[in-house]
Structure 1
């Protein structure tokens, strides 16, 4: 009897370790439906064969998204342009996925700069590919939030992220950018 219980406990421990992920240090889980995803580190899944972060849906129908993210002070980036670079691989992404970055001001409900790659989203099944987000950090910014997200179902892995200051010659990817003047008013472009 003790052997059966011991084997059952061992099998359960192995199963849990195979199908659950540990949240990486410095990161946290968020989103509109975070409980419908498993998120964390997957050993052996990295771009170079080591560890990668992953977001995996656990429900078959999800109206919302999950994100694995960080937030940090904007203080050392005020008045500068920053770039978040990373690699994403996907499997069966039904809706879309991507990196994201947002620049916020304390006490305001509106972001100062934002890009979630919705205009160049990762969809379906893809191999590792490099993605970039570039945003300006205005003088009134207080924090920068960033990470990767998965909307609806599927799985993504992300790896080898970097965060750096770039010069003004690197164009921003801010989704809220305005054009300098009205454009394509006859819909011919």
Structure 2
């Protein structure tokens, strides 16, 4: 039942959001904003990340008061009276790294979550079709819980063009995410080798 949720999120990604396309999200950024420390002047969402459920009444913003480390985290919220609401934030990367396995690690904290919070990895091919995915949905992380490190691992198929990573909340409550780390075959992505063109 959880796989269609990922497919729904990927469908939302295919809809233009503020004139952004998948290609524009894949432009070379000189850093990885996985600590959510950098926020654009006119945007509440940390730089490099995007809201993949813009039609929802959810609230996504940088948080300088509650964080695992550094000066900021990101918080996703759904109002208490919105039982079917959801919020999600994602980061898109070109699959240009040499390696066979991607590991996503992130610190999560959640409060008064009615349904669940999750992390996800989604890999798509050149047509935008999902070819590989992993989530924490089956853990049904709900209620209130202090910071805890969670991890997902996924093999990288040869035909992958784009990698999406992120987190989401389904139903009322709040989810904080901080200190995201991506590793290719155990090496931090910032130190991973790139494929030759």
> If the length of structure 1 is used for normalisation, what is the TM-score?
0.70
1:37, 1:59 within 8 Å by CA — same for their partners in 2? no
Q: Which residue of 2 aligns with 1:127?
A: 146
Q: Provide the TM-score with structure 2 as the length reference.
A: 0.68
Q: Tell me, which stretches of 5 or more residues in structure 2 are unaligned?
A: 1-42, 187-197
The higher radius of gyration belongs to 1
Q: Which residue of the partner structure matches residue 177 of structure 1?
A: none
Residue 119 of structure 1 and its aligned partner are, at CA, apart by: 1.1
Q: After superposition, what is the alpha-carbon deviation per residue over 1:126-148, rounded to whole angstroms, capped at 9, x for unaligned?
A: 00010001111111000000111
Against the structure 1 CA distance between its residues 159 and 49, is the aligned structure 2 distance closer, same or farther, given a 3 Å change threshold? same
After TM superposition, give the deviation of residue 49 of structure 1 in Å: 6.5
Name the residue aligned to 1:25. 47
3-state SS of paired residue (2:163): strand
Contact 1:57 1:153 in 2 (8 A): yes
How far apart, CA to CA, are the structure 2 residues paired with 1:108 and 1:68? 18
1:51-102 CA distance string (max 9 Å, x none) = 111101136124252211111101214x510101000000011000011111
What is residue 75 of structure 2 aligned with on the other side? 54
For 2:57, the equivalent position in structure 1 comes to 36
Instruction: Work out the CA distance in 1 between the residues paired with 2:169 and 2:68.
Output: 18
Query: Which of residues 97, 112, 124 is equivalent to 1:104?
Result: 124
2:184 aligns to what? 165
Confirm or deny that 1:149 pairs with 2:171: no
Matched residue SS, 2:45: coil
SS in 2 for 1:150: strand
CA RMSD of aligned residues (A): 1.9
Moved over 4 A (4+): none
List alignment gaps of at least 5 residues for structure 1: 1-20, 168-189
Instruction: Give the equivalent residue in structure 1 for 2:105.
Output: 85
Distance 1:49 1:89 in 2: 15
Cα distance in 2 for partners of 1:121, 1:129 equals 14
**Are the equivalent residues in 2 in contact too, given 1:34–1:65 (CA < 8 A)?**
no
Give distance in 2, aligned partners of 1:118 and 1:34. 22
Distance 1:120-1:113 versus aligned 2 partners, 3 A rule = same
**Quick check: 1:36–1:59 contact (8 Å CA) kept in 2?**
no
